[in-house]
Amino acid sequence: MVAVIETNSLTKTYGSLVAVNKLNLKVEKNTIHGFLGPNGAGKSTTIKVLIGLLKADSGSAKILGQEIGWDRPETRAHVGYMPELPKLPKHLKGTELLDIYGRMYGMTEAERAKQVPELLDVVGLGDRGTDLIGQYSKGMQQRLGLAQALLNAPELVILDEPSLGLDPVGMVEVRDLMKKLAKQGTTIFLSSHLLHEVQQVCTQVTIINRGVEVTSGSLEEISSRVEGPLKIEVEVNNLSKPILEKLEALPFVDNVSRSGKKLLIELTTRDDVRSEVSQAITNAGGVVVAMNLKGESLEDVFIDLLGTREKES
Amino acid sequence: MSGRNTSWLMKFLAIVRYEILWNIRKKKFIGMFIVAFALATLTLAGGYITSAITGEPVDADPEFVISSNAGLGGLVFFLFAVVTTMNVISAEFESGTITPLLAKPLSRTTVFLGKLLAAFLTLLATYSFLIIYMAIGSFVAYGPQTNLHLIPLSLLGALFSTLIWISIVLLFGTLSKSSLMAALGPFGIWIGTTIIGQILQALSGQGWILNYIPGVGNFGYVDGSPLEGGFPVSTGTDSIGANLVNYILHPAWEVTYYKIDIEGPAQIPSWVPLSTEPLSNVILTSIAVAVVYFIVFFAVSWYVFKHAQVAE
C-alpha cells in the first residue's frame, strides 16, 4: 500500500517537554485513519508539523511522497486541513473566504464558481454564505472550517477534531461526508477524541500517548493486541444466589461480582460467550434484561492500551 | 483538478485581496479615516476660523494646498501606519486565523509581501482621496491653486514616510505577536522623537541625532531664526514629501540649526546658530536613513515571520 503520510522518528519538543517522541506514523492511501490519544498526547502537534506550522526538532516526514521540510508550500497543494476549532477571519463572508482560499490553491474562476456554493451546501451553509463569518455560530464556523479543508478536492484531508462544537445531526453529517469522501478515493486522517466516531468511520487507527506511538493497525488488529480477558456486564431480573453459583461454575468464568441487579462477569477467555452466559442465567431462573460485552470496543482497547483502566475505575 | 492555475501572481493577489478586505472593514481604520478627514477639513477651515475670530476677510491663497502638504503630516502617517499594520501579522497569531492561512500552499514570503502590498494600496487609496479632497477644498476655500503638479510628489513622500512607520509597527508586531505591542512600541518612538527629542534638541543642541531616528527629525530654519521669522524645516523621515516640494520650489534654500541658550548674563533665552546645510543634503540624508530603516526592519520582520512557529 502507498503511504500518503509517513514519519520517521519525528520529534518535536517545547522546551523540556517532548510533545512528539520519535514517532513513526504511516497512513495508507484510500483509508480513513484515526489518530487517537488522550489530551496532550501530541496529536495536534504532529499534525501541525505535517502541515508546516511547526518545525520538527529531528526526524523526517513525507506527505503524498514529498518531504515536508520547512516552508515548502508545494507539499500542501493537494492537502486539505481543518484545524481544531478553526479560527477563520471574521471580516470576510463565507463565500469570500472560500473564494480567496480557492485562489490560494490556484483554482480557476470557473472551478471556484462551481466548488464554493456546492461545498457550502454540503456543509449546510448554503443560505448563510453571504453573511460575515463574525456572525456565524461556533458550529457554523466548524462547518465552514470543514468546507475550506475540502475546497481543493484534496487527495489527503487532515481533520483535527471535526465534530467539536457540532450538534448531533452535524456530527452524523460529518461522518457520512467522511465515508463518502473515502469512497471517492480521498484519504482521511482523523484526529478525534470521540472513540465511537473513530470506531464508526475509521478503517485504520494509530494510538499515541505522550508523543509515542502505542499501537497502530486496523481496528481488528488492535483489538486482538489487547491482553487480558473480556468482561460481560449483565442486568438480571430475579437475581438469586443459584444464578451466581451457576455462573461461577462455568469453565470460562473467573469471577462474578454483583451490584444491585447488575452482574460483572470476568472471563478467562476473549471468546464471545454471551449466549452461554445467557443460557446459564435462564436455566437458573433468571431473566436477562440487558447484556454488554466489555473489552472489545475501541474505548476499552484505548483505556487498556494506555494503562489507565485502573485509574478510571 | 484540471486546468488549475498555480501561478504565483494569482496566489499573491489572493493574499492582497484578503488583507485589503480586512483593512477596509476594520473599525480602527474607518475611525482613523474619519479622523484624517476631519483634520483635513479643519486645515481647510483654518483661515475661516481665524477670520471669524479676528474679523478680517479671508485672503485668496494659491499656495494653500502645497504649503499645507495637502494636510498630510507626521501624526497622520504614524496613525495610518498603526491602523493598517498593527494587525497584519500579530492579529493573525492572536486570533488563530494564521493556522488555516499558513496551511494553504503559499510560501510565507508570499504571505508577507502580499500583506505589505495590501497595506501600501490601502494607504495609497486613502491618501489619494484625502489629497484630492484637499485640492478641491483649497480651490473652493482659497481660490485657484498653483503648483498642483507637485501634488504627486507630496503623495509619494507621504507614502514613503508612512512606510517607515509601517516597518516599525510590523517589526514590533512580528517580534511580539501582539497587536498591543505593535501599536505601543512605535507610539513610544513617536512620542520620544516628537516631544522629548524636540526638547532635548532645543536645549542641548544635539538635535542632529534626530536625523538618524525615524520620525519628525531635527528642526532647522531658512532665512533666519524663529525669532527673525525663519521658515521651519524638519529634517526627519516624516518630512520627505514636504522637503522635496520645497526643494523644487526653492532649490537654493539653506537650512540653519539653532540651540536655545539660556546661560547668558541676562538669563534671556536666545537662539544660537549651530550649523547650516543645503536643503538637498537634508533630503538625501532623510531618504538614506529611511531606506536603511525600511530595509533592516522589513528584513528582520520577514525573517522572524518566515521562521515563526504556530503552536496555538
User: To which residue does cell 539660556 refer?
Assistant: B262
A164-176 pLDDT tens trace: 888 888 889 999 9
How far from the centroid of its chain's Cα atoms is residue A35's Cα? Answer: 5
What is the helix (H) or strand (E) element at residue A160, kind and residue range?
A: strand A156-160
Residue A38, domain member (yes or no): yes
* Residue B213: pLDDT over 50: yes
Do the Cβ atoms of B164 and B294 come closer than 8 Å? yes
Q: Does B26 touch chain A (CB under 8 A)?
A: yes
Residue numbers of the domain that contains A264? 231-294
Residue A45, domain member (yes or no): yes
CA gap A100, B95 in Å, rounded = 19
In this prediction, residue B264 carries a pLDDT of 64
Please, what is the Cα angle at B154 between B150 and B159, to 5 degrees? 145
- Which among A277, A249, A81, A143 is positioned nearest to B98, based on CA atoms? A81
A256-286 pLDDT tens trace: 999 888 999 988 887 788 889 999 999 999 9
* Residue A238: pLDDT over 80: yes
Alpha helix segments (H runs only) across B192-261: 197-204, 240-249
In this prediction, residue A228 carries a pLDDT of 65
Residue A311, domain member (yes or no): no
Residues of A in contact with B103 (CB under 8 A): 51-53, 76, 79, 81, 83
Question: Quick check: A103 and B10 CB within 8 A?
Answer: yes
> Per-residue DSSP letters for B81-143?
HHHHHTTTTHHHHHHSTHHHHHTSS--HHHHHHHHHHHHHHHHHHHHHHHHHHHHHHHHHHH-
Same domain, residue pair A137 and A12: yes
- A313: confidence class by pLDDT, cuts 50, 70, 90: very low
Question: Quick check: A145 and B100 CB within 8 A?
Answer: yes
Beta partners for B260? Answer: B271
Residues of B in contact with A135 (CB under 8 A): none
Same domain, residue pair A49 and A131: yes
Boundary residue ending a domain (A205, A224, A243) = A224
CA gap A159, B202 in Å, rounded = 63
In this prediction, residue A309 carries a pLDDT of 38
Which of B1, B22, B103 has its CB closest to that of A76? B103
* Residue B70: pLDDT over 70: no
In this prediction, residue B1 carries a pLDDT of 45
In this prediction, residue A296 carries a pLDDT of 63
Residues A205-214 have a mean pLDDT of: 92
What Å distances lie between residue B240 and A119, B83, B151, B228, B277, CA to CA?
Answer: 51, 21, 13, 25, 16
Do the Cβ atoms of A45 and A20 come closer than 8 Å? yes
Residues A59-82 have a mean pLDDT of: 94
CA gap A117, A99 in Å, rounded = 10
Tell me the residues of chain B between 54 and 113 that have a Cβ less than 8 Å away from chain A: 95-97, 99-100, 102-110
Residues A42-63 have a mean pLDDT of: 96
In this prediction, residue B296 carries a pLDDT of 96
In this prediction, residue A157 carries a pLDDT of 97
Among A48-62, A64-78, B151-165, which stretch is predicted with the lowest mean pLDDT? B151-165
Same domain, residue pair A99 and A55: yes
In this prediction, residue B227 carries a pLDDT of 83
Residues A247-255 have a mean pLDDT of: 92
Among A164-168, A177-181, B46-50, which stretch is predicted with the lowest mean pLDDT? A164-168
Question: Quick check: A103 and B96 CB within 8 A?
Answer: no
Do the Cβ atoms of B17 and B117 come closer than 8 Å? no
Name the minimum distance, in Å, from the CA of A156 to any CA of chain B.
13
CA atoms within 13 A on the CB side of A19: 20
In this prediction, residue B265 carries a pLDDT of 67
Q: How many domains does chain A have?
A: 2
Please, what is the Cα angle at A198 between A141 and A221, to 5 degrees? 160
Do the Cβ atoms of A198 and A205 come closer than 8 Å? yes
State the average pLDDT for chain B: 88
For residue A41, give the 3-state DSSP assignment: coil
In this prediction, residue A271 carries a pLDDT of 79
CATH number for the domain spanning A275: value is 3.30.70.100
CA gap B297, B165 in Å, rounded = 10
Question: Quick check: A91 and B306 CB within 8 A?
Answer: no
CA atoms within 13 A on the CB side of A162: 33
CATH number for the domain spanning A82: value is 3.40.50.300
Do the Cβ atoms of B166 and B81 come closer than 8 Å? yes
Do the Cβ atoms of A51 and A81 come closer than 8 Å? yes
Residues A14-39 have a mean pLDDT of: 93
Same domain, residue pair A202 and A248: no
Beta partners for A290? Answer: A235
- A78: confidence class by pLDDT, cuts 50, 70, 90: very high
Q: Does A105 touch chain B (CB under 8 A)?
A: yes
| CB-based burial, A229-238: b 16+ in 10 Å, e otherwise | ebbbebebee
CA gap A189, A154 in Å, rounded = 12
Same domain, residue pair A10 and A123: yes
Residue A58, domain member (yes or no): yes
- B6: confidence class by pLDDT, cuts 50, 70, 90: low
Same domain, residue pair A201 and A247: no
* Residue A114: pLDDT over 70: yes
Residue A272, domain member (yes or no): yes
B219-247 pLDDT tens trace: 899 998 888 889 999 898 988 999 999 99
% of chain B exceeding 90 in pLDDT: 42
Name the minimum distance, in Å, from the CA of B113 to any CA of chain A.
14
CA gap A60, B190 in Å, rounded = 46
Same domain, residue pair A62 and A111: yes
* Residue A125: pLDDT over 70: yes
What Å distances lie between residue B261 and A265, B193, B229, B266, CA to CA?
Answer: 100, 21, 18, 11
Q: Which residue has the higher pLDDT, B225 or A58?
A: A58
Which pairs count as long-range contacts for A167-174, CB under 8 Å and 24+ apart, including other chains?
A: A167/A139, A170/A124, A170/A139, A170/A142, A170/A143, A171/A197, A173/A123, A173/A124, A174/A146
Same domain, residue pair A282 and A186: no
Which pairs count as long-range contacts for B212-215, CB under 8 Å and 24+ apart, including other chains?
A: B212/B289, B213/B189, B214/B164, B214/B165, B214/B168, B214/B189, B214/B238, B214/B289, B214/B290, B214/B293, B215/B74, B215/B189, B215/B190
- Which among B241, B238, B6, B8 is positioned nearest to B131, based on CA atoms? B241
Residues A12-24 have a mean pLDDT of: 94
Residues A71-88 have a mean pLDDT of: 94
CA gap B150, B70 in Å, rounded = 10
A308: number of Cβ within 10 Å: 13
Residues A6-14 have a mean pLDDT of: 96
Residues of A in contact with B6 (CB under 8 A): 77, 106
Name the minimum distance, in Å, from the CA of B216 to any CA of chain A.
34
* Residue B262: pLDDT over 90: no
Its ipTM equals 0.84
CA gap A246, A256 in Å, rounded = 10
In this prediction, residue B3 carries a pLDDT of 46
Which range, A153-162, A166-175, B23-32, B157-166, is most confident? A153-162
* Residue B8: pLDDT over 50: yes
Residue A309, domain member (yes or no): no
Residue A302, domain member (yes or no): no
Same domain, residue pair A220 and A237: no
In this prediction, residue B190 carries a pLDDT of 85
Same domain, residue pair A67 and A166: yes
Q: Does A250 touch chain B (CB under 8 A)?
A: no
Residues of A in contact with B112 (CB under 8 A): none
